[in-house]
Structure 1
Amino acid sequence: MSTAEPPTIFDVMPGLRMPVSEVSPMLSQMWNTTFDPSSENPSEFRASQMNVILHFGLKTSPEEAKARFETAISFAQKYPCRIITLCPMGRERSDRLLEGKIFSLCYIGDSMRDMCCCEAVILGYPTREAGFLSSQVSIWLENDLPTYHWFNRIPAERITQMHMDFVKRCRRVIFDSSIEAEDGNDLLSIEWPRPEGVIDLAWARLLPVRQSLGQFLSAVEPKKLVDGLLKVEARGQAPLKGEAANLLRWCRECLEKCTKNPLSVEFVMGDCPKDHSLELEWTYSDSRHLLWTHEADSAVAQITADFGVGHMSAPMQVQLLDSEKALAEAMFFA
């Protein structure tokens, strides 16, 4: 008795399935129909600002793929774009050819003037066809608009060997180090053509933490922050290892700007207790110290510090950016 094949990433994506050859003609026609003769044409509300390529690796689960896709669609409601989603199929589907889907949706607010129309093109491909992806995707891009590429669980060596053509045309490349760390994948090890355009979503999500800590530390004389500092340790729960690493990186960059001399400070990653999601601790050669903790599953943080001018302790209300806001931060501001 044969068993049904488990669904692939492509299978769980929403949209109308069609041959790849029909996708481009359908894209040209899909916004030409008017809902009502007396109303505006939907094409008036589809003013794309960019292309977003959402590129999944084989280790992406269908559930994770759906969550990333939903984030991209939510993002598109505020920043209209054409989303191109690339879904690999493993060896068990290696006999298949390229498959396409089109997903389109209009969101209507209080009036038709609040309507926003977005579209997604979804490509399912056997991994043996990965070398042809760049050519296929180039047909679907709106070529007069900037392109952003979001990698999810694609090994660094595969990006280097097969997907650098994508990178060269992109304004920014986005990844999530907290997710990649689960697979032992270090995308920062890649020699990117434009390293300044490669943005970590974990860094973007950390924006409110950097802002609140920066505001607190700005009241302290820079010399007092670095004199006698021995160790800076960041700790994060498993889903936030990327955030912890970026918090450590941020501390190093800030402290280096506080002195003209080389820092003799140990920067380390540690394990976080279960009741906290993130922690940051500075250790000095004397009684001075800093400890910042963020409670798990909450927006509550606490900081205690002594920089030689008296003990300070304060609660903080701080929460990591949600997925949609973090994506916007990574694309436009980080």
Structure 2
Amino acid sequence: MTKAISYAAHSAKEPLSFFQFERREVGPKDVQLEILFCGVCHSDLHTARNEWQNSVYPVVPGHEIVGRVTSVGTEVKTFKVGDLAGVGCLVDSCRVCADCADGLEQYCDHEVFTYNSPDKHTGKTTYGGYSNQIVVDEHFVLHISDKLDLAAVAPLLCAGITTYSPLKHWKVGVGSKVGIVGLGGLGHMAVKLAHAMGAHVVLFTTSSNKVEDAKRLGADEVVISKNPDEMKAHLNSFDFILNTVAAAHNLDVFTELLKRDGTMCLNGVPEHAHPSPNIGSLIFKRRQIAGSLIGGIKETQEMLDFCAEHNITSDIEIIAIQDINVAYERMLKGDVKYRFVIDMATLKA
């Protein structure tokens, strides 16, 4: 075992604070990373505060991890010491089910998340990236390009793949009219990615002060979703809508904008259930409401390579680890453009 230092939540009510623990030794198929940057995801806050009622304390959050390889096991073939590498939301899966065989480990019934999951190696719980180092099976480690700003790459490991995966699955590309609902950590990545894929991108927001920023990020049009006239102008016109809002809201106003056979995919997990959709709106145009969860390892690497090719990173604000609790409160207020990233050099014993 090797010592690691981190920030952790020790209960749902306490602020995150310094925590020391042990990582497993590097096994034959393992890669050890020195963590350089870790993005801050809203899921981190949900888990730290037990808002999903499944937290096992202490919780060390963080699943948007980038760093440098410091050690590799004897059977590791694709990484060497000194390489840049990343770890996203998953660190293991069963490897044998149909989902895993299809490269869709995120849908495996036995997937192991980077934090707050049973850890078969230690018999405890997995600890995430708000720490100085991590040991992960080679299969779940990703290659990171040196062409991009490393700190701004970190959120791609969650916000990037969570939006890239549905855009690819529903074949977004040249000739597609795509709506993005919400301009937060996920939404701003969705706009960038859909634009790079060649789609006509329309951003839906309730805030008129986000219009200029949305267009800077790649939106061709911006619609204020509270304005009925602006919404009506887009009836029956979208091939695909990616809804990134993580709060309960009326879905009907967006499904009515879909073409026949159009799909709205939900990315955000609301605190309460959405109001039931108007079934007639779905039936009479064969529209669909779907969902999507992150992406498999192969697809995540594909996304990282796509972003390197198109010079896409997240818009970030770098913080010290000591400011994580303030960052959580700011995140709740939407006071970040568009993702916090922790500089792990600020973590000291």
TM range (shorter): 0.3 to 0.5
Higher helix share: 1
- Quick check: which has more Rg, 1 or 2? 1
Using CA pairs below 8 Å that are at least 6 residues apart, which structure has the higher relative contact order?
A: 2
Q: TM-score, normalised by structure 1?
A: 0.34
